[in-house]
Amino acid sequence: MAIHIPELLSPETAEKVQSVLSDCIAKHGEAKLQRVIEGLQIALGQREAQYPHPLQRPELLYIPGLPVKPWYSPDEYPSLQLVTRRLEAISSAMREEYLRASAEQSRMATYMPGRNAKFHTLEDEMQWMALFLRKEGKLHARNMQACPETARVIDEVAPLLMADGEAFFSVLKPGTVLPPHHDAANCKLTLHMAVIVPPDCGIRVGGEERPWSEGRCIVFDDTFLHEAWNKSAQTRVCFILDVWHPALTEEEVDTLRALVAAVPRKGAQATAA
């Protein structure tokens, strides 16, 4: 199936995307990829998006037909259960690895370098810091070595991780408030493993607030309007992981991986805090 690629992409990239999609349709059949094809048509302005929920607005890619809800139980799908249980089993080690690695400031990075309109409440980019183990789908070898137990889990669950997703310790400094915002694509879910959570911290997704509990995971769709805050006098740390939406089929994931590889990144998209 041919899909028109407008001037949104460079001619070279548009040609590559079309070629990759054609190859995947030949490999899997058009019927099995209909949701992905419709998602691309929406992203490229060829089809109008029909969002079933008023608080869900993906910035880049909306795959129709996936479950429409902000929150997921960690036990709802086998893949979520596998990832969350593996992380929770090493929660103490993760905390120690973070504390040891973050003491070396050169390992830390600002999550959103420069001013970003979406996070207009941040007066200083140092308010939101990150210790990246995986960024835009690429492993950070030095930080992986510094966090061996955490790295081992990332390696074990690698097939479940979104192709260009992230895995990192997300650090909100005291007094940091991230405003309500939407993120990029509903083909992934965001997992938070609570590492250090002082009082007066919170997260709200799709209008529903849920607490972080140290050593436990929460899972949500960050294309729903969400916000996070740390109003305490201490630092809040969560480990964040991007995983493929478990309701996607193997054929859809294979195609999305190929499409991600075909489109060059132009800087990181923000995930949830």
**Exposure on the CB side of residue 134, measured as CA atoms within 13 A:** 22
For residue 9, what pLDDT is reported? 63
User: Amino acid identity, residue 107?
Assistant: R
C-alpha–C-alpha distance, residues 223 and 164, integer Å = 16
Asked if residue 20 belongs to a domain, the reply is no
Mean pLDDT of 73-78: 96
- Reading the block at residue 28, the tokens are 């899997």
Helix (H, G, I), strand (E, B) or coil at 231: coil
Instruction: Write down the pLDDT at residue 13.
Output: 77
Claim: this prediction has a pTM higher than 0.85? yes
Q: Which residues contact 130 (CB under 8 A, 6 or more apart)?
A: 108, 109, 110, 111, 168, 169, 170, 171
Split at pLDDT 50, 70, 90, the class of 114 is low
- Cβ atoms of 235 and 171 within 8 Å: the answer is yes
Q: For position 268, what pLDDT does the model report? A: 39
With respect to residue 169, please indicate whether it lies within any of the assigned structural domains.
Answer: yes
Average pLDDT over the chain, rounded to whole? 91
Which of the four pLDDT bands, split at 50, 70 and 90, describes residue 96? very high
pLDDT tens per residue across span 162-220: 999 999 999 999 999 999 999 999 999 999 999 999 999 999 999 999 999 999 999 99
Q: Is 81 exposed, middle or buried (0-12, 13-18, 19+ CB in 10 A)?
A: middle
Residue 91 resides in a domain: yes
CB-based contact 135:161 (threshold 8 Å): no
Residue 13 maps to a domain: no
Contact between 53 and 68 under an 8 Å Cβ cutoff? The reply is yes
Residue 62 counted as domain residue: no
- At 145 the pLDDT is 97
pLDDT of residue 113: 57
Domain assignment present for 76 = yes
**Strand partners for 177:** 229
Asked if residue 121 belongs to a domain, the reply is yes
Rounded to whole angstroms, the Cα distance separating 191 from 221 reads 9
CB 62 within 8 A of CB 50: no
Domain that holds residue 120: 71-248
Domain count, the chain: 1
Whether 32 is covered by a domain: the verdict is: no
| Closest-CA residue to 71 (of 167, 208, 185, 240) | 208
Domain holding 221: CATH number? 2.60.120.330
Residues 77, 248, 111, 128: is their CA dihedral positive or negative? Answer: negative
